[in-house]
Structure 1
C-alpha cells in the first residue's frame, strides 16, 4: 500500500502527540509486531519473519508502506527453552548466558531512520513474563507451582530479569530514541494479593528508570487490565496496550483513566474472520468515541498474528487515514 500523501507518511510527531493528548493531522496507527503473513502481503514477497525479526532496513520499508509512525526495536532478553526447575538449573544456565548488545542494535535502527520522520521504540520485557517463560518443565504452569513450592527461585528469576532490564535502559538512555515499550503479561497468572510484592515492586523500578530517560512509556499487558491500571496510574504511564476487548471495556477505561493514551482494542478475531466493512465500522467507532482528547492510537487487540487477513488489517489502517 503506497504512501502518497501526507497522512500516509510515517511521522513520529503524530504518535507523540497522541501520548501527550495533543491534536495531530490524523489518528496514528501502530503495531508492536506483525507476523509473517502480514509482512509478506505488505512487502509483496514471501517470508515467515515477523516485524521483530526483520532487518532495520526492511522494518522501515514495512512502516513506510503502512504509514506506521515508529518501528519497534526488540532489545528484550529471554532464556529461551531454559526449562528451569531448580536453583541448580538456574545457576548453571546463568553461567553460559550471552547477553545482546542492546546499544549497538538500537544504534543500527536509529541510523536507518535518520533523515525520515519515522520513530524508534526500544521494546523490553517486564520481569514476570520473562520468568515464567524460563520456568520448566511446562512454563506457565510450572511457574505458578513454583510460587508456592520454590518462592526463593521465583524471586531469583524476577530479580535477574529486573536487573537485565534496568541495565538495558541504562545502556540506551542517552540515545535519541522516541519512546519505550515495556511488556509484561501479569494478570490472571497470580492473584492481586501477590501482584504487589512479586511484580509491582520490581516493575516500578523499571518504570522509574524508563521515565528518567525523559521519553514516553507505553506499557503492555495481555488479559484483563483492571488489576494493573491503578499501578500504571501511580507510575504515570503515558500509554497502555492492547486492552483485549473480551476482557476489557476500552470505553470505560477511557472514562475512568483519561490520563492514558489508549493503543489497541481492535479485535483480532474481527480482523481474522470479519469483513472489511465490519472492520472499518468498528475502527471508526473507536476513533469517534476515544479521540475526543486526541489520545487514541489505532491498533489491534494484540498484534497482527498470522490468522489476521492482511486486507482486513489494511482496512483498519485505511480507517485511520480517512
Structure 2
C-alpha cells in the first residue's frame, strides 16, 4: 500500500494540473514533487545519467524500457533532460505546458507500443504532436525505428528547446525539432500530406484543442496514413475526441483499443484495486485513426 507521503505527493500533482486547467492560482510555483515520472504502468526504469562527457549543467536521466531489447540484445533507452524543478503556473497557463510537469503514462504506453512494432514504421515519415519536454515516444522511435523522417514538436518554446538538446545528445538520425501549434496555418501548409504517421499522447483533455488536433492530424497525414493517439478517458474528453475524429475521418476509420499490449493490460488489471490508481486518469486508451 502506498505511503501517506506518496499519496499526498500524487494528490498535489493532480491538484496542480486541475488548478492550472481551471485557471486558478493557488501557488506561485509548482513544487519539486510535480517533476517526476508518472510510472503507474511500470514500463520504464529511470536512473540519473552520469557521463564522462559534460552534457550541460542540467539534470539528465536514462529512461530504459523494461523487458524489451533491441535486435542486438541491447536495452532500449534514451537520455532525457529534465526541466528546472520550478515551473510557474503562469507559464503553464500561457500555453498548454502540462507535458512539462512529467512524462505521463500515455507517453510511456505509446513508447512501448512503438518500440514493439518497429518494423511497422521502417522507412516512414513520422511527426509527434504535443510531445512536451521529452517527446519520449518519438525519441525512441527515431533512435531505433530506421525512419525516413521524424519531426518532434510541441507548442511551447521551452519544451522545444529542451527536446532539441535531447535529440542532439541521443544522436537521432533524420530528426528535426520544431515549435508547432496545431492551428498554425503556416506550419500546417508546410507539412500538409507529409507524414505516414502522426503521434500524440495525452492531448485530448482540453475542450478547445480537440477539434484543432483532429484537423491537424487530417492535414498532416498522407492518404492511407495513420494517427496513433494514446490518452486516458478523463471523463468524456476522450470520447468527445473520438466523436470529432469520426466526423472527419469516418466512423469506420477510427478504432478505440483498450487492450493493445498484454503486459500493460496485466499491469493495469493488478492495479485496479489500489486507492492510488484511477483507471480513468492513469490507463491510456489507444485510438487509431486511418485516413482513407
- Give your verdict on TM over 0.5: no
Length-normalised TM-score, structure 2: 0.33
Q: Which structure carries more helix by proportion? A: 1
Q: Which structure carries more strand by proportion? A: 2
Length-normalised TM-score, structure 1: 0.31
